[in-house]
C-alpha cells in the first residue's frame, strides 16, 4: 500500500515506533527514523527493515532540539508520511514537578511534534499530498496521577492535530492522531508488577495492547483506506477510555 513512499518515524528504534516502521516497510515504504541514545536497538531495527528490501536511514536525535530535527529532515528526500511518536515521561506528584521537569516532557511531546511536522510540511504542500500521524495517549483524555505534564502534553497533541488538520486537509495533507491505551512496551514494563496486574484486571479487554496493534492503526491512517479521517484521534485502548 505504501510503495514509493518515504516514512519518517520518530522514536523508531523500539516499541510502537519500531513496530510501525516495520509495518510501513512491509507495505513498501522506505524508512527514516530517529532515536535517542539507542544505537544498538536502532541498528537491529534498521537490519530488520532492510530485510524487506527497503532503503533505511536513522539518526541519534532528541526531537526537542528543533535545529537538529530540521537538519535531519533536510538531509532526507521529501517525506510522504510522518509518524510523530517520540516521547518521554517523568512520574512525580504535581507539587514536586519543577520547571525543568515540565519542559523535558512537554518539549519532547508537544514542541518536538509540532516542529517536526513543520519541517516536513513545506514539501507536502508543494506536492499537494502527505500524511502526518501524531501519537497522543488515552491519558490525555482521562488523566492520571503523578503524570500531569505528560497528560497535558498528550491532550495538547490532540488539539494540535485538529488545528493543523483544518489547514492541511484542503491542501491534500491528512493529519490525524492515535491515542494508545496501555501497550506492552519496555516503558510500561518498568512499573511494579502488582500495578500492572491490577491495571490489566480492570480493563474490559483484560490485557494490554501490543505495539503491532498500534502499528495497524497507523497503517490504516497512512494507507489508501484512511482518506476520510481528518483531524481524528483514534484510541485503541482496550476499553480503558470509551467515548
3-state secondary structure of 164: helix
- Using alpha carbons, select from 56, 120, 138 the residue that is nearest to residue 84: 120
DSSP state, 109? Answer: I
User: What angle is formed at CA 41 by the lines to CA 83 and CA 136, rounded to 5 degrees?
Assistant: 30
Beta partners for residue 135, in sequence order: 178
Q: What's the Cα-to-Cα distance from 128 to each of 5, 49, 115, rounded to whole Å?
A: 14, 28, 20
3-state secondary structure of 54: coil
Q: Given 121, 150, 229, 243, which residue is catalytic?
A: 150
Residue 113: CB partners within 8 Å, gap ≥ 6? 10, 63, 84, 86, 134, 157, 160
The rounded distance, in Å, linking the Cα atoms of 49 and 47 is 5
The rounded distance, in Å, linking the Cα atoms of 184 and 188 is 6
List, as one string, the DSSP characters of 57-108.
Answer: EEEE--TT-HHHHHHHHHTSSPPSEEEE---------GGG--HHHHHHHHII
229 assigned to active site: no
Residue 2: CB partners within 8 Å, gap ≥ 6? 24, 27, 28, 29, 80, 81, 222, 223
The residues assigned a catalytic role are: 150
Amino acid at each position: 500500500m505504501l510503495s514509493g513512499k518515504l516514512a519518517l518515524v520518530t522514536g523508531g528504534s523500539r516499541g510502537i515506533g519500531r513496530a510501525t516502521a516495520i509495518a510501513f516497510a512491509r507495505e513498501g515504504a522506505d524508512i527514516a527514523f530517529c532515536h535517542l541514545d539507542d544505537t544498538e536497538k536502532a541498528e537491529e531495527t534498521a537490519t530488520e527493515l532492510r530485510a524487506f528490501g527497503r532503503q533505511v536511514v536513522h539518526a541519534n536525535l532528541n526531537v526537542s532540539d528543533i535545529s537538529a530535527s530540521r537538519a535531519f529532515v533536510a538531509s532526507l528526500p521529501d517525506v510522504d508520511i510522518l509518524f510523530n511518536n517520540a516521547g518521554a515521561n517523568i512520574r512525580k506528584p504535581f507539587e514536586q514537578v519543577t520547571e525543568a521537569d515540565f519542559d523535558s516532557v512537554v518539549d519532547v511531546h508537544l514542541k518536538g511534534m509540532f516542529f517536526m511536522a513543520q519541517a516536513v510540511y513545506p514539501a507536502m504542500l508543494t506536492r499537494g499530498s502527505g500524511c502526518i500521524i501524531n501519537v497522543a495517549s488515552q491519558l490525555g483524555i482521562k488523566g492520571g496521577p503523578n503524570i500531569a505534564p505528560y497528560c497535558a502534553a498528550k491532550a495538547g497533541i490532540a488539539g494540535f492535530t485538529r488545528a493543523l488538520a483544518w489547514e492541511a486537509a484542503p491542501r491534500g495533507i491528512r493529519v490525524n492522531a492515535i491515542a494508545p491505551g496501555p501497550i506492552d512496551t519496555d516503558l510500561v514494563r518498568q512499573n511494579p508488577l502488582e500495578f500492572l496486574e491490577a491495571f490489566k484486571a480492570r480493563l474490559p479487554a483484560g490485557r494490554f495492547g501490543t505495539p503491532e496493534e498500534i502499528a495497524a492503526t497507523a497503517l490504516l491512517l497512512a494507507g489508501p483506506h484512511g482518506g476520510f479521517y481528518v483531524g481524528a484521534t483514534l484510541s485503541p485502548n482496550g476499553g480503558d477510555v470509551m467515548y
